[in-house]
Amino acid sequence: MLDIKFIRENPDLIKAAAKKKRIDFNVDELLRLEGRRSALLTEVETMRAEQNSYTDKIARASDQTERQSMIDQMKLLKDTLMAKEEELKGVMEGWRFEMLQVPNVPDISVPDGESDAENQEVKRWGEPTAFPFPAQSHIDLMEKHDMVDFERGTKVSGFRGYFLKGDGFMLANAVWQLAIKHWGAKGFMPMLVPSLVRRETFLGTGYLPQGEDDLYKTQDGDFLAGTGEVATMGYYMDETIDISGGPIKFLAFSPCFRREAGAHGKDTRGLIRVHEFFKWEQVVLCEGSHEESVRLHEEINRNTEEFIELLGIPYHTVVNCGGDLGLGQVKKYDIELWVPGEGKYREISSASYFHDFQTRRLNMRYRDKEGKLRFVHSLNCTAIPTPRILVSIVENYQQSDGTIRVPEALQQFMGKSVIGG
């Protein structure tokens, strides 16, 4: 959510933001509602003050006729006030709805483009893996070594269901342990966060109202989160937090759930796109400074790049174009890993910063050096998701005899150097 004062003063900037993000938003309608809201608020406050004045006058009146006249006038004022308050209530509902649709302004460095097809590569690490033998997919390799069971997963859980087992589970666990070690050394607080999250937290982080079709909903109106970011951002909701010691850095772990409503027919086999998975997420809160947000954005994205380099998997990093940004994102990077079985890079991580878009909705503030209350800035970045990371590990580390080498960084947690040997 943006400051309404900023929106009033910069309507053309909001229009340009909506255009760049390919979001259908009518800022003129919001400003029309804002004008009506402001006028009604003034009328209502004036009437309430007048009503209080009548109350005092009636209490002091000694003449019965004069007293009754004021009572009649106050009753008429009360009826008018109630009608105005009801009108204000309706206008406020429309105003709040429109305010939740306002797109954040993307950074000037964000390239123009319609979709992820127009994201721009900014870095490449390692050469795409090529084999002197017929390469196998992660599905064939993992089924061969009894690391996964898709058939029984579908029987038990439905479409996109899976059981991760044996060395499949142990490999995922090794990734988790390396993540704790890697991000712990960088000062991140590990935290197990809820997956069942209330609606207001989803609204606060900007996943609602636009993304509801991709969420699983409970009978009580709560939702299952598709990322630990949502619950972690709700941790300090409606609080004034102390960041005098520097940015607050969380490494959040949680089960994640996504309906993949817009992915019909895409990646229907294997572990690339599943309904239930586990993810480590970096969440950072810092002072309300653009320069600090930019610095930390580069830092958290680099954290994940370093982790992928520890695993020795080729990757490239892209900057997302305007059409591939969400409502609240100012700028985003995606890290994509090489998948030999498909002969292309696939997304493994996204790093975003939001300025105060989320924290204004969630009412998360801090006191600056002058003691003034300000909204903190928020950032997040995927640390590593499982089981998706296993796709690239297994396919990039396969050997001619069908065995799978374990990346050196994971061997201490796996207790072996080869799967299937």
Phi-psi region of 238 (alpha: psi -120 to 50; beta: other; left: phi over 0): left
Residues whose CB falls within 8 Å of the CB of residue 254, separated by 6 or more in sequence, listed in order: 192, 193, 194, 195, 225, 227, 228, 231, 278, 279, 281
Q: Which helix (H) or strand (E) is 44 found in, with range?
A: helix 27-60
CA–CA dist 337, 340 (Å, integer): 10
Helix (H, G, I), strand (E, B) or coil at 339: strand
Helix (H, G, I), strand (E, B) or coil at 37: helix
Q: Which residues are annotated as a binding site for ATP?
A: 258-260, 274-277, 347-350
- Please tell me what DSSP assigns to residue 375: E
How does DSSP assign 265-316, residue by residue? Answer: TSS-SSSSS-SEEEEEEEEEEE-S-HHHHHHHHHHHHHHHHHHHHHHT--EE
**Which of 244, 323, 249, 320 is closest to 281 using CA atoms?**
249
Token pair 């070594």 is found at 145
**Which of 86, 353, 101, 67 is closest to 210 using CA atoms?**
101
The β-bridge relationship of strands 223-224 and 196-197 is: antiparallel
Q: Which residues are annotated as a binding site for L-serine?
A: 227, 258, 281, 380
Mind telling me the catalytic residues?
Answer: 258, 273, 347, 350, 388
What is the token pair recorded at 132? 């002197």
Cis check for the bond before 407: say yes or no (omega within 30 of 0).
no
Residues whose CB falls within 8 Å of the CB of residue 349, separated by 6 or more in sequence, listed in order: 301, 304, 334, 335, 381, 382, 383, 384, 385
Q: Which residues are annotated as a binding site?
A: 227, 258-260, 274-277, 281, 347-350, 380
CA–CA dist 201, 231 (Å, integer): 7
Cis check for the bond before 247: say yes or no (omega within 30 of 0).
no
CA–CA dist 273, 263 (Å, integer): 9
